[in-house]
């Protein structure tokens, strides 16, 4: 893996500086739209809003729109919509995974219970579409519906593969495409649609976001092995304990022999891992260069993302989107 120092939240804020005011407007819009006379809804909404998310998806949409010459209110509305969709998936994911912690704080279902949390997630999904329908362009609403359906399909597909140790690389990438990449791709494409740049540039932005999303998830999976729990805001090794076999493990299972297979199957079966077994798995991942392999695939998708932006003339927005790919690759949380 690269020896470059991990990027910090401060680096990310610097990248997003051109859209800082817009991102603050997105936060205000989120808070406004989550209001309800049923007090638990704004209570949960505000809790989620303050949970320290990076807002990468809204930033991709806002920056893509600026790249395409659009800076109006529809960018802020749509950025809030995608943050609603993303937040709804996180709320439901935490119930499915039975995760107690999200970003270093108690997960919503740990605080309010599963029944309330499922309905809160439903509220966020429906509210996102209601917000999207307040604008003129049905094309954007269709895109958002399509992306949301793919994400839910991805979650369902992942559930059918949960605990399956012999997951293929193709199956793993299919889950990533559905769960993560399509929303990133949609965010970038909406920027092009708002700027009315035409099909070729719109498609280039979609491909940029799609590749960025795959890289984002590959790095996220790697952090389960390379990150520190206090930085990640969740227990290290959580994915494997939840029965999720990610790319480094797929590679290790293919190349690491019986010992690796036995260790990984044991963790998935028991839904727990001892400190010794975790240390041994990490040693084997290093020995068989499985971390390096997954990192190299992430680099490939980062380069693919940046290539798509070459259809645009150089400008600060293009450079920020390119730099975002580098940030994602080197992030530590």
What is the three-class DSSP state of 289?
Answer: coil
The pTM score is: 0.91
pLDDT of residue 298: 97
Please compute Rg for the chain using Cα positions.
20
pLDDT of residue 281: 95
pLDDT of residue 332: 66
Separation CA 241–CA 86 (nearest Å): 23
Q: For residue 13, give the nearest of 329, 297, 327 by alpha carbon.
A: 327
Separation CA 9–CA 15 (nearest Å): 10
Other Cβ atoms less than 10 A from the Cβ of 109: the count is 23
What is the three-class DSSP state of 207?
Answer: helix
Alpha-carbon dihedral angle through residues 283, 219, 294, 275, given to the nearest 10 degrees: 20
Q: Kindly tell me the burial class for residue 35, based on how many C-beta atoms sit within 10 Å of its own C-beta (0-12, 13-18, 19 or more).
A: exposed
**What are the residues whose beta carbons fall under 8 Å from the beta carbon of 38, sequence distance 6 or more?**
none
pLDDT for 94-141, tens place per residue?
A: 888 777 776 667 888 888 888 888 999 999 999 999 999 998 789 999
How many Cα atoms sit within 13 Å of 130 on the Cβ side?
9
**What are the residues whose beta carbons fall under 8 Å from the beta carbon of 85, sequence distance 6 or more?**
124, 125, 128, 144, 147, 148, 151, 183
pLDDT of residue 5: 41
Q: What percentage of residues in the chain have a pLDDT greater than 70?
A: 92
**Tens place of pLDDT per residue across the chain (333 aa):** 444 444 555 676 687 888 889 999 999 999 999 888 898 888 888 888 777 667 899 999 999 999 999 999 999 999 999 999 999 988 888 888 777 776 667 888 888 888 888 999 999 999 999 999 998 789 999 999 999 999 999 999 999 999 999 999 999 999 999 999 999 999 999 999 999 999 999 999 999 999 999 999 999 999 989 877 656 556 678 889 889 999 999 999 999 999 999 999 999 999 898 889 999 999 999 999 999 999 999 999 999 999 999 999 999 999 999 999 988 888 766
Contact assessment for residue 202 and residue 179, using Cβ atoms and an 8 Å cutoff: no
Structural domains of the chain sorted by starting position, each given as residue range(s) with its CATH number in brackets: 9-330 (1.10.600.10)
């Amino acid at each position: 893996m690269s020896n470059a120092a991990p990027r910090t939240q401060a680096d990310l804020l610097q990248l997003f500086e051109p859209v800082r005011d817009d991102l603050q407007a997105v936060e205000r819009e989120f808070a406004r739209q989550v209001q309800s006379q049923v007090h638990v809804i704004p209570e949960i909404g505000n809790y989620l809003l303050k949970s320290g998310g990076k807002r990468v998806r809204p930033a991709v949409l806002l920056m893509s729109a600026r790249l395409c010459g659009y800076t109006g209110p529809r960018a802020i509305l749509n950025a809030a919509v995608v943050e609603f969709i993303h937040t709804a998936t996180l709320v439901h994911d935490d119930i499915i995974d039975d995760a107690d912690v999200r970003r270093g704080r108690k997960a919503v279902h740990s605080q309010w219970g599963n029944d309330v949390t499922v309905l809160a997630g439903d509220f966020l999904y429906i509210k996102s579409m209601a917000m999207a329908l307040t604008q003129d362009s049905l094309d954007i609403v269709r895109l958002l519906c399509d992306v949301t359906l793919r994400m839910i399909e991805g979650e369902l597909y992942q559930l059918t593969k949960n605990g399956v140790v012999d997951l293929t690389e193709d199956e793993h990438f299919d889950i990533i495409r559905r769960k993560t990449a399509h929303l990133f791709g949609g965010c970038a494409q909406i920027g092009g649609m708002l700027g009315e740049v035409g099909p070729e540039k719109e498609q280039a932005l979609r491909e940029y976001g799609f590749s960025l999303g795959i890289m984002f998830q590959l790095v996220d999976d790697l952090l389960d092995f390379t990150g520190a729990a206090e930085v990640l805001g969740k227990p290290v090794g959580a994915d494997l304990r939840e029965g999720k076999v990610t790319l480094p493990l797929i590679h290790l299972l293919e190349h690491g022999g019986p010992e690796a297979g036995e260790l990984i199957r044991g963790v998935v079966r028991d839904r727990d891992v001892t400190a010794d077994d975790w240390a041994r798995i990490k040693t084997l991942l290093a020995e068989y260069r499985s971390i390096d392999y997954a990192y190299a695939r992430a680099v490939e998708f980062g380069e693919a993302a940046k290539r798509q932006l070459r259809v645009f003339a150089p400008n600060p927005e293009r450079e920020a989107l390119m730099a975002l790919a580098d940030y994602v690759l080197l992030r530590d949380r």
